[in-house]
A and B are shown apart, each in its own frame.
Chain A
Amino acid sequence: MTGSLKLEDVSVGYGRKPVLNHLDIGPLPPGSLVAVVGSNAVGKSTLLKAIAGLRTSSGRILLGDTDLSRLPLSGRVRLVGYLSQALPQPTSLVAYEAVTSAFRAVRGDLSTAEAERMVDEVFTALDLRNIALRRLSEMSGGQRQMVGLAQVLVRKPPLLLLDEPTSALDLRWQLNVLETVRTITRDDKVICLMAIHDINLALRFCDQLIVLGGGGLLAAGQPDVVMDAGLLRRAYGIEGRVEHCSRGFPIVLTDRAVAAPPMPQ
């Protein structure tokens, strides 16, 4: 049990240009699947990178009692699994090697048998066994995205940061990914922050919503509580409605663009 994720007064920037200022988020308890949404260039990726330690930030990023921002990269890796928005390169590695190497490069302590068992598990969980021996150079973008996800999930970190994990996937695989992530977060008490553009997928699967805008937090909370027409206008500059489908899930219907969304300072 690693405890909740809490961000206290976190600011991140690129060079001298601040992107996110004085952000307070959480605490998000173990088992949370959290969607990070907002317009383009609002800092979704930046936030995930900062938590992953790939971007320097100020403030405190607490996972339980551990301040992640004070851990060296090698220590953070045990706790955090980050999936980059970029797809893995189309190299002549086969998927099995891509996943195994990502795992074993940093987990020299595991026996071969143990590593093989964990790699096998992740291929099964993501339904990728039939492309395990295919070269990445021969795969579609979506397949490579799934391999990238497998590289992260295989390490079983207690905190998952997924940057647009479904951007290259068709409907079936989007569902596959979200259902898998949903199961992992619930069963293994994992916290997952997921940057995602598809707002309806976010509303359907996530139990928390973090809406970024204007260099800070616009709203946070349960999807059906925070998401409304006013927030759509503020976050995206659109006129839209939040309705409910026959199964009771909220759905966003977009009507028209009204204004450019507020850009970060």
Chain B
Amino acid sequence: MTVSRDDASSAGLALQYRRFVATRVAILIGLAVTLGLSFLADVATGTSSLAAGDILRGLVDSSTLTRSQSVILWDVRLPYALMAILVGAALGLAGAEMQTVLNNALASPFTLGVSAAAMLGASVVIVFNVLPAWLDQNYGIALGAFIFAVGSTMLIQALSRLYGATVDTVVLFGIAMVFVLNALTALIQFVANTDALQQVVFWNMGSLTRATWDKIAIVAVVLALCLPLSMTQVWAMTALRGGEDHARSFGIPVERLRLVVMLRVSLLAAVAVCFVGTIGFIGLVGPHIARLALGEDHRFYLPGSALAGALVLSLSSVASKLIIPGIILPVGIVTSLVGIPLFMGLILSQRRRA
């Protein structure tokens, strides 16, 4: 993107820049619209036949639906579709912020062990049944997953603060953590009985079928709290992309920024992962798509990552119902099997153009 010298001298740079970013605003709107369409497609597809027209009518006026149609729409289709969007957005945003504060495009809730820790927490609850009696098992598993997920990022933070570690060390700690957590989960699976083992394995697959309105509300509230906070730090985060030394010399308290952001995104990722299980790839691909399409000015990059994450998971949710008619595949499997080839294609085509 270059501008000829004549152009440059005739208009103010701010004006030129505004013209330049108009494309990005259009891309953001395009992403949002596509997400809306994907959401409708998600609601309109499923194992039971429910015509798209009926659904639209039912959304506006629920009295037009039969009782069973109403149950399908309100207790199955809508919660799944909404959960896909919220979890996708949460993971996309978390991945984007992690990549910036750790200065590493491979950082994501998955690669830093948040998902693996959630998996271990869920396994502990399922296999050893360490639940207070009053807690519904569904929530108990999520709670266990959440505690472990937040705990693992706290541990990484503590270790790296203790040893004054650089960002690379944090990433290495995270990767080491993934292996340890996976080994512990395998150990628990080894001692589990058949029923519990089956439950653990299924949890690990990552599925939207556990979505309920309560859980949606929780993820929505956390996302609604985190996204505006993220947006208040966009300038500092953008400046951090130039490099840690530069940011510090501009007067940005890099260590504090990193700690605050890591706390926030680990909460965000843990809440998302604990309700749906392991959905690995969204936190990596959301930010990558946003970076390719929108650049790294965080005013566009952060909402773009959230939207791209939401879109990928929503499309995966649609695909999970279409691949084998009559069966809803766990969405975690679909994101990897369908999403990763697409993602690789995107990256390779970008490389070729560059």
Q: Do A and B bind each other?
A: yes
| Complex contact A134–B246 (CB within 8 A) | no
| Complex contact A133–B243 (CB within 8 A) | no
Given A94-B20, A105-B235; A73-B241 close (CB under 8 Å): no
Q: Mark B1-45, 1 if CB is under 8 A from A, else 0.
A: 111110011001110110010000000000000000000000000
Docked Cα-Cα span, A136 to B13, in Å, equals 17
List chain A residues, Cβ under 8 A from B253.
73-74
Docked Cα-Cα span, A147 to B145, in Å, equals 45
Q: Which of A81, A116, A119, A130 makes the CB contact (< 8 A) with B2? A: A130
Given A133-B17, A135-B295; A88-B246 close (CB under 8 Å): yes
Is A82 close to B, CB under 8 A?
yes
Is B252 close to A, CB under 8 A?
yes
Is A120 close to B, CB under 8 A?
yes
| Closest CB in chain B relative to A49 CB, distance in Å | 9
Most chain A CB neighbours (cut-off 10 Å) among B4, B9, B16, B297: B297
List chain B residues, Cβ under 8 A from A120.
12-14
| Closest CB in chain B relative to A71 CB, distance in Å | 11
Chain B residue, CB-CB nearest to A113: B14
Is B249 close to A, CB under 8 A?
yes
Is B251 close to A, CB under 8 A?
yes
| Complex contact A88–B243 (CB within 8 A) | yes
Q: List 19 A-B contacts (CB under 8 A).
A: A86-B245, A89-B242, A91-B296, A92-B296, A93-B242, A93-B297, A96-B17, A97-B297, A101-B236, A101-B239, A106-B252, A119-B13, A129-B13, A131-B2, A132-B13, A132-B17, A134-B1, A135-B295, A152-B249
Chain B residue, CB-CB nearest to A106: B251
| Closest CB in chain B relative to A121 CB, distance in Å | 10
Taking Cβ atoms with an 8 Å cutoff, the residues of A that contact B are: 52, 54, 73-74, 76-77, 81-84, 86, 88-89, 91-94, 96-98, 101-102, 104-106, 108, 116, 119-120, 123, 129-136, 148, 151-152, 155
List chain B residues, Cβ under 8 A from A92.
291, 295-296
| Complex contact A116–B14 (CB within 8 A) | yes
Q: Mark B87-128, 1 if CB is under 8 A from A, else 0.
A: 000000000000000010000000000000000000000000
| Complex contact B297–A132 (CB within 8 A) | no
| Closest CB in chain A relative to B14 CB, distance in Å | 4
| Complex contact A73–B251 (CB within 8 A) | yes
Kindly list the 6 A-B residue pairs having the minimum CB-CB distance in the complex, ordered from nearest. Answer: A77-B251, A101-B238, A116-B14, A105-B235, A88-B242, A129-B8
| Complex contact A83–B14 (CB within 8 A) | no
| Closest CB in chain B relative to A33 CB, distance in Å | 20
| Complex contact A101–B251 (CB within 8 A) | no
Is B57 close to A, CB under 8 A?
no
List chain B residues, Cβ under 8 A from A91.
241-242, 296
List chain A residues, Cβ under 8 A from B8.
129-130, 132
List chain B residues, Cβ under 8 A from A134.
1-2
| Complex contact A76–B295 (CB within 8 A) | no
List chain B residues, Cβ under 8 A from A98.
238-239, 241-242
Given A92-B295, A97-B295; A129-B9 close (CB under 8 Å): yes
Is B161 close to A, CB under 8 A?
no
Is B139 close to A, CB under 8 A?
no
| Complex contact B12–A133 (CB within 8 A) | no
Chain B residue, CB-CB nearest to A93: B296
| Closest CB in chain A relative to B10 CB, distance in Å | 11
Docked Cα-Cα span, A217 to B32, in Å, equals 61
Given A83-B249, A130-B5; A93-B295 close (CB under 8 Å): yes
List chain B residues, Cβ under 8 A from A105.
235-236, 238-239, 247, 250-252
**20 extra interchain contacts, Cβ-Cβ under 8 A, other than A88-B246, A130-B3, A133-B17?**
A73-B253, A77-B251, A81-B249, A83-B249, A91-B296, A93-B297, A97-B295, A101-B238, A101-B297, A102-B239, A102-B250, A104-B235, A105-B235, A105-B238, A106-B252, A116-B13, A116-B14, A132-B3, A133-B3, A151-B242
| Complex contact A89–B16 (CB within 8 A) | no
Chain B residue, CB-CB nearest to A154: B250
| Complex contact A151–B17 (CB within 8 A) | no
Most chain A CB neighbours (cut-off 10 Å) among B9, B247, B250: B250
Q: Mark B248-277, 1 if CB is under 8 A from A, else 0.
A: 111111000000000000000000000000
Chain A residue, CB-CB nearest to B292: A92
Docked Cα-Cα span, A96 to B2, in Å, equals 12
| Complex contact B243–A86 (CB within 8 A) | yes
| Complex contact B246–A84 (CB within 8 A) | yes
Docked Cα-Cα span, A105 to B242, in Å, equals 13
| Complex contact B246–A133 (CB within 8 A) | no
| Closest CB in chain A relative to B167 CB, distance in Å | 12
Docked Cα-Cα span, A141 to B17, in Å, equals 23
| Closest CB in chain A relative to B230 CB, distance in Å | 14
Docked Cα-Cα span, A76 to B253, in Å, equals 12
| Complex contact B2–A133 (CB within 8 A) | yes
Chain A residue, CB-CB nearest to B251: A77
Docked Cα-Cα span, A134 to B103, in Å, equals 21
Given A77-B251, A119-B14, A133-B16; A102-B242 close (CB under 8 Å): yes
List chain A residues, Cβ under 8 A from B241.
89, 91, 93, 98, 101
Docked Cα-Cα span, A89 to B14, in Å, equals 23
Docked Cα-Cα span, A120 to B16, in Å, equals 11
Q: Mark B160-197, 1 if CB is under 8 A from A, else 0.
A: 00000000000000000000000000000000000000
